[in-house]
């Protein structure tokens, strides 16, 4: 950081005694009006020019400078003010123009602002993990913003801010700019919603030349898939079961708010639900750091008119993940996709969540393989519905593997009678996994039902699940289909396009 003491030290080394004497309060003036100008001169070893530039009135407000068309040795601000000092020092104008971008990195106030930068301007971000996560139209890297370049977050025990740097890329159908503008619009709509612990906001959107970026807080816990894979499950842990149920009701509540402003997410899946070990940084609880699952990635989110039944066109592009998409994505239904599309995805995710709670991550993978095996015309896809092609027309039905899964869970001795897990699973085929979208619950309706289950579980610890002396074996419904001796269980990523 530049301060008066550091400026005085540099001036002492560069200016003569009498230059310093007649400069008076030069160091203070530089610190107040031109610390970036001073830094650029230091980078170009041209600090001796500072007195003349100060006399011409150059301050940080005039940056960046550009060459005057009539004389490239004269630099000008965007407002047209000229600075002739550079013309008296051969080569200094070119050096200043080159080095100014190193100190013009923006300060982010983490409020979702949009920033447009010259392609020569450095971002205040250091990439700390070169491993790339690729999506349909983006690449995500881990980066760090230096403490001096952001404000708005209180970071415990840390000075710098870890972020996810999402670079938008073109697809076969749409340019990178159009992809960026679409997601930027969706993020602006999300910002209209009051801060919610289960909804992720962007730190900023940024256009640098022809590159397009969105910056998000870094989810140190990874996504829901990673959580299932790395965390030990177990219904013997009442706290874990209750925490899981609370996360589910929070996710549905966040979805309800999205739907209230006529938006659907469109691509809900475990990979788009992120774990923040200390809670959503935009909305931390007064009770202290708490693990929180947060909905992210609004790239394919869609806005819908209030007159739902007046819509005449279907969503044309398939930018979603097949496993968790609703049957209407296959074009079988003639009506356009509604906000209830998301409720099918919620049913898929919550059913897998319960499978993990009861039987562990291998059972989640086994369930995936069962859906692939019983998907009928959905060859190679782990959809929760199956496609039938009879003599009259193609139609969808709930995947038999899903029916088997629900039956297996409801017959598990830990879930029989009146239990939170059993009551939740019983709701999934009745309220969410329905082929006809009009028959599914709205987010508000399902939130009310799930909230009642959570409220009862909070007040009656024995309601969460039934304790048993011996853990049941993993049912066939969650075993790898076609497993042979020594054959490696597939990962979820192996099975999902």
| Residue 493 near residue 439, CB atoms below 8 Å | no
Select from 224, 369, 219 the least CA-distant residue to 282. Answer: 219
Q: Residue 345: enclosing H or E segment and its boundaries?
A: helix 341-359
Per-residue model confidence (pLDDT) at position 487: 35
How far is Cα 382 from Cα 401, in angstroms, rounded to an integer?
A: 10
Q: Residue 291: which region, alpha, beta or left (left: phi > 0; alpha: psi -120 to 50)?
A: beta
Tokens of 325: 């998409």
Could you tell me which residues come within 8 angstroms of residue 293 by beta carbon, excluding any fewer than 6 positions away? 198, 224, 227, 247, 250, 251, 273, 274, 275
Per-residue model confidence (pLDDT) at position 319: 47
DSSP 473: P
CA distance from start to end of the chain? 48
Select from 318, 305, 280, 140 the least CA-distant residue to 215. Answer: 140
Task: For residue 64, say if its preceding peptide bond is cis, omega within 30 degrees of 0.
Answer: yes
What pTM does this model have? Answer: 0.83
Per-residue model confidence (pLDDT) at position 320: 52
Tokens of 333: 């239904």
How far is Cα 370 from Cα 355, in angstroms, rounded to an integer?
A: 13
How far is Cα 317 from Cα 173, in angstroms, rounded to an integer?
A: 9
Give strand pairing partners of 211: 208
In tens digits, the chain (497 residues) has pLDDT values of 787 888 878 877 776 665 665 455 888 889 999 999 999 999 999 998 998 999 999 999 999 999 998 898 999 998 999 999 999 999 999 999 999 998 888 877 777 788 888 888 888 888 887 666 666 678 899 999 887 777 766 655 567 889 999 999 888 778 999 989 989 998 988 888 888 999 999 999 999 988 999 999 999 999 999 999 999 886 678 999 999 999 999 999 999 999 999 888 989 999 999 999 989 888 876 566 789 999 998 755 454 333 333 333 344 444 456 899 999 887 666 566 789 999 999 999 999 999 999 999 999 999 999 999 897 776 678 999 998 877 667 789 999 999 999 999 999 999 999 999 999 999 999 999 999 999 999 999 999 999 999 999 999 989 999 999 888 899 999 998 754 233 344 444 444 43
How far is Cα 133 from Cα 153, in angstroms, rounded to an integer?
A: 25
Coil, helix or strand at residue 291: coil
DSSP 376: B
Cα–Cα–Cα angle for 286, 290, 296, rounded to 5 degrees: 105
Q: Could you tell me the domains of the chain?
A: 4-102 (no CATH), 113-217 (3.30.200.20), 224-308+318-495 (1.10.510.10)
Task: Please state the separation of Cα 189 from the chain's center in Å.
Answer: 15
Work out the burial of residue 75: count CB atoms within 10 Å of its CB; fewer than 13 is exposed, 13-18 middle, 19 or more buried.
Answer: buried
Residue in the block written with tokens 């612990």: 197
What phi and psi, each to the nearest 5 degrees, are found at residue 410?
-70, -20
**Maximal C-alpha separation, the chain:** 99
Per-residue model confidence (pLDDT) at position 483: 41
């Amino acid at each position: 950081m530049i301060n008066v003491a550091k400026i005085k030290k540099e001036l002492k080394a560069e200016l003569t005694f009498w230059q310093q004497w007649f400069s008076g309060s030069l160091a203070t003036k530089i610190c107040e009006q031109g610390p970036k100008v001073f830094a650029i001169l230091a980078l170009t070893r041209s600090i001796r020019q500072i007195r003349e530039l100060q006399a011409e009135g150059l301050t940080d407000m005039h940056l960046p400078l550009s060459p005057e068309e009539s004389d490239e040795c004269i630099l000008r601000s965007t407002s047209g003010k000229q600075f002739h000092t550079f013309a008296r020092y051969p080569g200094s104008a070119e050096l200043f123009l080159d080095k100014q971008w190193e100190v013009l990195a923006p300060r982010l106030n983490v409020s979702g602002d949009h920033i447009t930068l010259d392609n020569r301007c450095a971002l205040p971000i250091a990439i700390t993990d070169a491993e790339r996560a690729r999506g349909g139209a983006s690449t995500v890297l881990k980066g760090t913003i230096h403490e001096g370049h952001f404000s708005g977050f209180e970071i415990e025990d840390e000075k710098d801010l870890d972020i996810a740097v999402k670079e938008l890329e073109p697809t076969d159908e749409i340019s990178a700019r159009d992809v960026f503008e679409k997601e930027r619009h969706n993020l602006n709509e999300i910002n209209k919603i009051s801060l919610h612990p289960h909804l992720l906001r962007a730190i900023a959107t940024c256009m640098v030349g022809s590159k397009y970026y969105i910056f998000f807080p870094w989810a140190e816990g990874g996504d829901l898939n990673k959580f299932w894979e790395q965390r030990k499950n177990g219904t013997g842990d009442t706290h874990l079961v209750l925490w899981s149920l609370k996360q589910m009701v929070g996710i549905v509540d966040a979805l309800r708010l999205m739907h209230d402003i006529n938006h659907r997410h469109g691509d809900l899946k475990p990979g788009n639900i992120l774990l923040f070990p200390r809670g959503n940084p935009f909305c931390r609880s007064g009770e202290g750091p708490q693990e929180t699952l947060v909905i992210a990635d609004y790239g394919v989110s869609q806005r819908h008119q209030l007159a739902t039944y007046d819509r005449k066109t279907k969503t044309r592009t398939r930018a979603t993940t097949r496993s968790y998409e609703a049957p209407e994505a296959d074009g079988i239904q003639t009506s356009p996709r509604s906000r209830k599309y998301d409720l099918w995805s919620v049913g898929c995710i919550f059913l897998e969540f319960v499978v993990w709670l009861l039987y562990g991550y291998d059972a989640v993978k086994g369930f995936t393989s069962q859906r692939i095996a019983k998907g009928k015309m959905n060859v190679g896809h782990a959809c929760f519905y199956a496609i039938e092609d009879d003599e009259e027309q193609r139609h969808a039905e709930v995947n038999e593997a899903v029916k088997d899964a629900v039956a297996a869970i409801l017959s598990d001795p830990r879930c029989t009678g009146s239990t939170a897990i059993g009551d939740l699973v019983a709701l999934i085929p009745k309220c969410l996994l329905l082929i006809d979208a009009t028959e599914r619950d709205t987010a508000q309706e399902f939130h009310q039902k799930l909230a009642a289950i959570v409220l009862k579980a909070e007040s009656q610890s024995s309601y969460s699940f039934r304790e048993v002396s011996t853990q049941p074996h993993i049912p066939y419904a969650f075993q790898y289909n076609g497993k042979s001796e020594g054959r490696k269980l597939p990962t979820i990523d192996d099975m999902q396009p």
